[in-house]
Amino acid sequence: MRTVKLIYKAIETYLPTTNPAYFYGSPDNNVYVVYASPYLTPSGKSGTEYIIARHHEFSFNYLEERLVHNITKKTPFVNSLVDKKNPLFTNVKSFKSCRSYEDAEELLQKWISDEMVKKSKLAASKPGITLK
């Protein structure tokens, strides 16, 4: 099984958090960000949730281990530039059960694997075109 690859770790980031952010290249050729964010429970207690977000401005060529800027397509590209001002990203999953970034990375890996299996099953279930 192919695993996510850490491509950059930002101690201070442009994302909406004061915590570090970890940027991963994925076997599905997307770039995902994992960051921690505080939250309040309904009872008023605070906790930390780990958020997985998909970065829209970058993709990752998994086989070549190369970051690609989706707008300019210029290569080579310095991985640290993935953390930029006004990033375009979508939060795709959050985990309140995580205790660390390592736990969040494992959950990211499992989530991506599950999503890739779903996509392959969906593609396999579509009827094929037969040529006569």
Question: For position 15, what pLDDT does the model report?
Answer: 86
pLDDT digits (tens, 9 = 90+) for 39-82: 888 888 888 999 999 999 889 999 998 888 877 655 555 676 77
User: Band of the pLDDT at 127, cuts 50, 70, 90?
Assistant: low
CA quadruple 33, 37, 42, 43: dihedral, nearest 10: 140
Neighbouring residues of 94: CB distance < 8 A, sequence distance ≥ 6: 49, 50, 51, 52
Q: Record the pTM.
A: 0.81
User: Band of the pLDDT at 132, cuts 50, 70, 90?
Assistant: very low
Question: For position 33, what pLDDT does the model report?
Answer: 94
Question: For position 9, what pLDDT does the model report?
Answer: 93
Angle, alpha carbons 45-100-2 (nearest 5°): 140
> Residue 75: helix, strand or coil by DSSP?
coil
Q: Is the pLDDT of residue 131 over 60?
A: no
